[in-house]
A = this chain, B = another copy of it.
Amino acid sequence: MTSEREQRLKNVLDKRQQDLTVVLENVFDPHNISAVMRTCDAVGIQEIFVLNTKISRHKKWGARSSSSAAKWLTIHQHTDAHSCFVELRKKFPLILTTHLSSSAVSLYEINFSNPVALVFGNEHDGVSEEIRALADGNFIIPQVGMIRSLNISVACAVSLYEAFRQKKAAHHYDHVKLGVEDYSTLWKDWSLNNG
């Protein structure tokens, strides 16, 4: 590995945020999953959760492309909502879904200085009742148009970049946030895969 490449990997690891994650519940379209992963990588998310209770386990993540974001992310796959939430709860006291409800808060009211997990649901049915019962609340992306629905990869990008904006303002990208052990494990994986 060239020292330039080494520096590049470290620069990215230095900015990974362990206190922000995305949960994809039964998201079906591989293009959506792939776009969400690119956005996660772009804002420095390392771990994401893929929960498939209704659709079969995904086999690949747009692996065709050598620039696939999947290989730079830690992907937790679950087929059971409860086991997924047990793992989520270890790091995320606040878990919000995108389900539209009267008690939903605006995306812009979420405080992303604290750890947050955001759940995005299936393209047709949205977030399930089971997951809504397990989560802490709902948020919406404000809209003032006629259509009132955004593609899931668009909704996820708007949400994650609002988190990015807030976290940048709160200096979350100014110092290393990964724990020593996580950093070391990822560094080994990344440098082996890309040496």
Q: Which residues of A contact B (CB under 8 A)?
A: 8-9, 12, 15, 35, 38-44, 67, 69, 72, 108, 141-151, 153-154, 157-158, 161-162, 164-165, 168, 173
Contacts and interface: CB of A to CB of B under 8 A. Distances in A.
A150 B157 CA distance: 10
Contacts of A168: 108, 142
Contacts of A108: 165, 168
Given A154-B154, A162-B161, A72 B146 contact: yes
Given A38-B154, A42-B150, A153-B153, 9 more contacts: A9-B146, A15-B144, A41-B147, A42-B141, A43-B143, A67-B149, A150-B157, A161-B161, A162-B165
Contact of A42 (B42, B43, B143): B143
22 contacts: A9-B146, A35-B151, A38-B145, A38-B149, A38-B151, A39-B154, A40-B145, A41-B145, A41-B147, A42-B143, A42-B150, A44-B145, A69-B145, A69-B147, A72-B146, A108-B165, A108-B168, A151-B153, A153-B153, A158-B158, A161-B161, A161-B162
